């Protein structure tokens, strides 16, 4: 049965989601936005999309319905060893440089970790590089509770392994009745928490990390939303902090606070040494 969509309501929903999640749907994709919300509109027994708009508008961002919305908009397309040149830059150059100049524990934040393949790849790469004994804390956050629940199980299907070298798969995964389980006991523990990149209070506790991976999420954001999030990173990260974004994401026109540097085959945004 089709649910009534009063005129102007797709745009209202689009603007509300943009404001609270950073994710932006242009006019040609408003049908997709409505499709993604359909199950929620039905679950809340709303007579029309306008009634659902009012539920969202008057709930706080962290409230139950917004958590369901973030699940509905979560594109959990990710895999181990994605953009491996960045992992190489991390373990061969950036982490050794940190411990050369500091005895302090190092914090690494995976800011849109999805189902966990990214932070676990970081952890595997550190271990492979002989850095497993170093005091390193890996924080992994995502706006989607359903993604985080999968990440915490550390059990993966075949498609997650498409880029992982077979030797690493043999070394770090075991076959269990549930599926291919990562042997997490070999690695730095990862602290998975929910945080929305469009919510200042939720991401501020992580943003002072000197190394941030925020990859393949800005492709869903508007340029303003990317600028807001990156400005917050810049406000809290230490000078010379390292920010990794996805290969198809560029910050060049969106921030003056970082400069791009090539390390091996990877591009890294380095926070400038200015206030």
Ligand X SMILES: C[S@@+](CC[C@H](N)C(=O)[O-])C[C@H]1O[C@@H](n2cnc3c(N)ncnc32)[C@H](O)[C@@H]1O
How far apart (Å, rounded) are the C-alpha atoms in residues 160 and 154? 11
Instruction: Kindly give the interhelix angle for 49-57 and 64-72, rounded to the nearest 10 degrees.
Output: 120
How many residues contact ligand X, by CB under 6 A? 24
- Report residue 102 as tokens: 């500091």
Q: Which is nearer to ligand X, 123 or 144 (CB)?
A: 144
Single residue of 67, 124, 147, 212 touching ligand X by CB under 6 A = 147
Query: What is the side-by-side strand order in the sheet with 173-176?
Result: 155-156, 179-182, 173-176
Q: Does 121 bind ligand X (CB under 6 A)?
A: no
Question: Binding of ligand X at residue 226 (CB under 6 A)?
Answer: no
Residues 246-265 that bind ligand X (CB under 6 A): 246
Rounded to an integer, what distance in angstroms lies between the CA atom of residue 127 and that of residue 125? 5
Calculated CA dihedral for residues 150, 209, 130, 156, nearest 10 degrees: 10
234 binds ligand X (CB under 6 A): no
Quote the least distance from Cβ 92 to ligand X, whole Å: 20
> Minimum distance between the CB of residue 265 and ligand X, rounded to whole angstroms?
17
Identify the three-state secondary structure at position 12: helix
Q: CB-wise, 209 or 216, nearer to ligand X? A: 216
In terms of C-beta density within 10 A (0-12 exposed, 13-18 middle, 19 or more buried), how is residue 146 classed?
middle
Q: Is there binding between residue 268 and ligand X (CB under 6 A)? A: no
Sheet holding 242-244, edge to edge: 190-194, 136-142, 106-110, 211-213, 242-244, 266-271, 258-263
Closest separation in Å from C-beta 97 to ligand X: 23
Q: Map residues 30-69 to x or -, x wherever contact with ligand X holds by CB under 6 A.
A: ----------------------------------------
- Return the range that interacts with ligand X (CB under 6 A); candidates 15-23, 27-35, 94-102, 163-171: 15-23
DSSP letter, residue 29: G
* Min separation Cβ 126 and ligand X, Å: 17
The answer to whether residue 196 forms part of the interface with ligand X (CB under 6 A) is yes
Q: According to the binding rule CB under 6 A, does residue 198 interact with ligand X?
A: yes
List of residues contacting ligand X (CB under 6 A): 21-23, 74-78, 82, 112, 114, 118, 142-144, 147, 196-198, 215-217, 220, 246
């Amino acid at each position: 049965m089709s649910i009534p969509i009063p005129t102007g309501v797709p745009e209202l929903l689009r603007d509300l989601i943009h404001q609270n999640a950073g994710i932006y749907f242009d006019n040609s994709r408003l049908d997709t936005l409505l499709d993604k919300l359909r199950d929620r509109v039905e679950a809340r027994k709303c007579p029309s999309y306008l009634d659902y708009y009012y539920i969202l508008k008057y709930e706080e961002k962290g409230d139950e319905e917004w958590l369901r919305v973030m699940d509905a908009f979560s594109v959990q397309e990710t895999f181990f060893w994605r953009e491996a040149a960045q992992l190489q830059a991390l373990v061969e150059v950036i982490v050794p440089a940190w411990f050369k100049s500091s005895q302090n524990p190092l914090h690494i934040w995976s800011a849109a970790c999805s189902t966990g393949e990214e932070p676990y790849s970081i952890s595997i790469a550190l271990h492979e590089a002989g850095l497993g004994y170093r005091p390193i804390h890996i924080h992994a956050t995502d706006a989607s509770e359903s993604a985080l629940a999968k990440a915490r199980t550390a059990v993966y299907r075949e498609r997650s392994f498409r880029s992982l070298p077979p030797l690493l798969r043999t070394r770090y995964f075991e076959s269990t009745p549930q599926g291919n389980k990562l042997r997490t006991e070999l690695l730095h523990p990862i602290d998975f928490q929910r945080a929305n990149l469009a919510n200042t209070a939720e991401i501020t506790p992580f943003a002072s990390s000197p190394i941030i991976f925020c990859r393949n999420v800005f492709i869903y954001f508007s340029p303003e939303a990317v600028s807001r999030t990156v400005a917050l990173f810049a406000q809290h990260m230490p000078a010379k902090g390292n920010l990794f974004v996805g290969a198809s994401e560029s910050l060049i026109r969106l921030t003056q606070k970082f400069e791009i540097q090539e390390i091996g085959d990877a591009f890294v945004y380095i926070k400038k040494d200015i206030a």
